[in-house]
């Protein structure tokens, strides 16, 4: 097996590790609530706290560590992640768990940003989009397979062993990274102002808006996917896990399709997908009257709602490489930073609407965010055309 293939596998494993750590709390929520003698609604804030710390800390950690070797920085961040995750397993109270989760969240975004940067460095130009799509798929694989396995471990042996298992995976990944990562990568040094200059570019801030409102589109309905499938469509709890796995597999397929689009001027094709999102989300209240129709819409939405991931990531990397080389790692982090902000916006919108218009009509809020995304992606494509920026690897 070639070194590039081994590097590709380890990059996907890093995403899988991060995804397991981020998502596992949902699978062990009841166990944590019982162990800490804390209401489950309170324990649920662990998800919000993680996403918020992740989004806020990532640009600061990324900018402040940019002067150091990317190889050494990534290894140090992996060690911090290992400590935070292991402390989560040893947590004796809800407050202890909050601190441990904040520690892992503080470095998780910078870890994936550096992994994206290394992927961009080691991949041949014609394989870069495919590799980046596989890295995104690592998170989906964690959701589909890692979290159910972790939940089963929690049920059989206790929730602590779920976190200890992730720590074992982290230790293995650490050793593999020492072996496989390129140690001397050319870096352009710059101060904080030089790195932030990237954000003033119209092609960047429009793309940031697209990422944010795309995530809001998804989570303005997906936050309530379980009650939508059970209360809304009438599926029983025994069928629910099968349906969630089916949606997860569709998400993995979406990531691979996203990579294919990134190789073929994917951003130019995005308006069609956003129009489809809007139509499907507006139809959803009616579709909830039919199990087949409703489930079909959820499967299609899962396939297309975040299909922009790889094209937009390639867009950020191309702009940084061409015009802002000092901001390459920051550019790599923008997708994950603003996707997490979008998750917060979308979930808050869903929670607000469910009490006002009811569960069956919360998709109207998601359709509104899809419409905003559509307008932004049209403006982004115009900005790209004006600058003559390549949107595929050239």
pLDDT tens digits for range 261-282: 998 888 999 999 999 999 999 9
Backbone angles phi, psi at 268, to 5 degrees: -65, -25
Burial (0-12, 13-18, 19+ Cβ within 10 Å), 171: middle
Mean pLDDT of the chain: 90
Q: Classify 358 in phi/psi space as left (phi over 0), alpha (psi -120 to 50) or beta.
A: left
Residue intervals of the chain classified under CATH 1.20.1250.20 are: 3-187, 194-387
Q: For residue 155, give both structure tokens.
A: 């049920």
**Of 327, 300, 241, nearest to 66 (Cα)?**
327
The kind and range of the H/E element at 274 are: helix 266-287
Residue 188 banded pLDDT, cuts 50, 70, 90: low
pLDDT one-digit tens code per residue, 236-250: 878 887 888 899 899
CA distances from 254 to 90, 137, 339, 359 (A): 36, 8, 16, 26
**What is the DSSP secondary-structure string of 230-253?**
IIIT---HHHHHHHHHHHHHHHHH
The model carries a pTM of: 0.85
Helical residues (DSSP H) of the chain, grouped into ranges: 3-27, 29-36, 40-43, 45-64, 70-90, 94-122, 128-141, 147-157, 159-180, 192-196, 202-222, 225-227, 237-262, 266-287, 291-304, 309-323, 328-356, 363-387
**Of 174, 143, 167, nearest to 75 (Cα)?**
174
d(CA 122, CA 183): 12
CA distances from 267 to 310, 331, 374 (A): 10, 17, 11
Matching residue, tokens 């507006």: 282
Please compute the mean of the pLDDT values over residues 208-228 and round it to a whole number.
92
Report the topology of domain 194-387.
Answer: Growth Hormone; Chain: A; (1.20.1250)
Residue 389 banded pLDDT, cuts 50, 70, 90: low
pLDDT at 176: 95
pLDDT one-digit tens code per residue, 121-133: 888 888 888 899 9
**Of 261, 223, 238, 236, nearest to 342 (Cα)?**
223
Residue 41 banded pLDDT, cuts 50, 70, 90: confident
CA angle 284, 217, 384 (to 5 degrees): 125
Please compute the mean of the pLDDT values over residues 134-143 and round it to a whole number.
88
For the chain, the C-alpha Rg in angstroms (whole number) is 20
CATH assignment of 3-187, among 1.20.1250.20, 3.90.180.10, 3.40.50.2300, 3.40.50.300: 1.20.1250.20
pLDDT at 391: 58
Cβ–Cβ under 8 Å, residues 213 and 380: no
Q: What is the DSSP letter of 39?
A: -
Cβ–Cβ under 8 Å, residues 375 and 210: no
pLDDT at 114: 92
Please compute the mean of the pLDDT values over residues 35-57 and round it to a whole number.
85
Of residues 163 and 343, more confidence is placed in 163
CB atoms within 10 A of CB 195: 23
Matching residue, tokens 């694989």: 141
pLDDT one-digit tens code per residue, 61-106: 988 888 888 899 999 999 999 999 999 999 999 999 999 999 999 9
């Amino acid at each position: 097996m070639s070194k590039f293939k081994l590097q590709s596998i380890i990059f996907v494993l890093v995403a899988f590790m991060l995804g397991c750590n981020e998502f596992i709390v949902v699978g062990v929520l009841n166990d944590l609530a019982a162990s800490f003698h804390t209401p489950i609604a309170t324990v649920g804030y662990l998800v919000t706290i993680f996403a918020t710390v992740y989004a806020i800390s990532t640009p600061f950690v990324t900018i402040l560590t940019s002067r150091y070797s990317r190889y050494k920085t990534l290894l140090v961040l992996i060690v911090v992640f290992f400590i935070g995750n292991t402390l989560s397993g040893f947590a004796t109270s809800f407050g202890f768990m909050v601190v441990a989760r904040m520690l892992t969240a503080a470095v998780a975004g910078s870890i994936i940003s550096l992994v994206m940067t290394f992927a961009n460095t080691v991949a041949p130009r014609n394989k870069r989009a495919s590799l980046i799509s596989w890295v995104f798929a690592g998170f989906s694989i964690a959701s589909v397979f890692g979290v159910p396995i972790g939940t089963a471990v929690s049920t059989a042996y206790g929730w602590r062993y779920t976190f200890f298992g992730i720590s074992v995976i982290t230790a293995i990944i650490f050793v593999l990274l020492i072996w496989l990562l390129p140690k001397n990568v050319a870096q352009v040094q710059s101060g904080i102002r030089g790195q932030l200059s990237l954000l003033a570019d119209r092609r960047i801030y429009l793309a940031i808006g697209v990422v944010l409102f795309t995530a809001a589109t998804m989570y303005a309905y997906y936050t309530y996917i379980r009650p939508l499938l059970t209360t809304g469509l009438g599926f029983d709890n025994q069928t629910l896990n099968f349906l969630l796995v089916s949606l997860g597999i569709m998400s993995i397929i979406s990531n691979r399709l996203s990579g294919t689009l990134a190789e073929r001027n994917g951003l130019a094709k995005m308006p069609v997908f956003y129009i489809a999102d809007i139509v499907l989300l507006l139809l959803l209240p009616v579709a909830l009257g039919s199990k087949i129709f409703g489930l079909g819409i959820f499967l299609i939405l899962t396939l297309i709602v975040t299909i922009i991931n790889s094209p937009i990531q390639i867009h950020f990397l191309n702009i940084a490489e061409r015009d802002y080389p000092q901001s390459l790692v920051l550019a790599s982090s923008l997708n994950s930073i603003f996707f997490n902000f979008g998750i917060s916006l979308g979930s808050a919108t869903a929670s607000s609407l469910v009490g006002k218009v009811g569960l069956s009509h919360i998709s109207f809020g998601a359709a509104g965010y899809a419409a905003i995304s559509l307008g932004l992606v049209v403006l982004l494509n115009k900005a790209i055309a004006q600058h003559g920026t390549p949107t595929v690897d050239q």
